[in-house]
Amino acid sequence: MVMVALVAALALSACGSSSKKSESSGAGKTGTAGANVDVTVTDSGKTIKYGVPKSVKGGLTTLTVSNKAKAPHGAQLVLIKGDHTPQEALKVIGAESNKTPEWLRAEGGIGQVAPGKTADASLVLDPGKYMVIDAGPTGGGQPAYSQFTVAGESPGSLPSTPTTVTADKTGKDKYDWKIAGELKSGTQNVTFVSKGKDSLHLIGAFRLNGNASKDQIIKALKSNGKPPKFVDQSSFYTTAVIDGDKKQTTPLEFKTPGKWVLFCPITDRDGGKEHFLEGLVKTVDVK
């Protein structure tokens, strides 16, 4: 699926299609207390490196991603449970299966950061073994990653944001986008809430050129061909992936005002249909 591949070529690393001309940036510090995870992305030729602390406190966490590389990159946090290894996790991610094992948990992060920019997010992290994986365009092959450990706990709750976007579960294999507050052009921090015990969600967004019906949009998302003219391909943006029944604050970028489409191309852990076929596709007005 061309449209889905643009934003989810790697299910857990939430591969985006942001171009090098993207002006995406963080919306500023979220102002949380608690632990800090500072991630620095650098490159040397085709080699991408992620610099992270070896160990941080769990609980309330401020994730800061500084992209010093030449292309857009992001930071998907993955919790590896039990005796499983990062190599096993990379094998699962590289297989691009629509099924995700229970021991591999999507803990959120930041979907994409433009070159020379910094972005921040607030999360609540459980203790355990983590990977931070490249959530930007990879060009194929194994994504860049690094490892760190979360131990202990920093108390606190997520900071409030003016807008909350919820991937709500409304029934068996049924979902709905619920939005509280305004969606504004530019980059804003929103609270992203993921519902459904066995669900995985991200926020995918693109701008409409003109009008399109819901059926036309779904047909485009399913298509293996060239995206139709009503899809502004330069506007794609995705957040990181989070497990069901989790939430975080995250930057969300709408480059210009107008009509935008919110969608989720991820499936539940046991596979099935992409969530845009189960209700998570919606046209919204961005001021």
Sheet holding 258-263, edge to edge: 231-238, 204-208, 258-263, 281-286
- Whether 164-286 and 2-154 are alike in CATH topology: the answer is yes
Closest CA to 206 of 276, 271, 149: 276
Cα(264)–Cα(278) distance, integer angstroms: 10
Residue 106: is its pLDDT beyond 80?
yes
Instruction: Give CATH for domain 164-286.
Output: 2.60.40
Q: Which spans in 14-102 are helix H?
A: 86-95
Is the pTM for the entire model greater than 0.85?
A: yes
Amino acid at 174: K
Between 102 and 154, where is the model more confident? 102
Give the pLDDT confidence of 125-141 residue by residue, as tens digits: 999 999 999 975 555 56
Fold of 2-154: Immunoglobulin-like (2.60.40)
* Domain spans of the chain, in order of start: 2-154, 164-286
Of 274, 166, 285, 257, nearest in space to 221 by CA:
274
90 has a pLDDT exceeding 70: yes
- On average, the pLDDT of the chain sits at 87
pLDDT digit string (tens) for 13-59? 333 333 333 333 444 444 455 688 999 999 999 899 999 999 999 99
Encoding tokens for residue 12?
A: 């857990």
Phi, psi of 240 (to 5 degrees): -75, 170
DSSP 8-state symbol, 39: E
Question: Which residues does 178 contact at the CB level (< 8 Å), separation at least 6?
Answer: 165, 166, 168
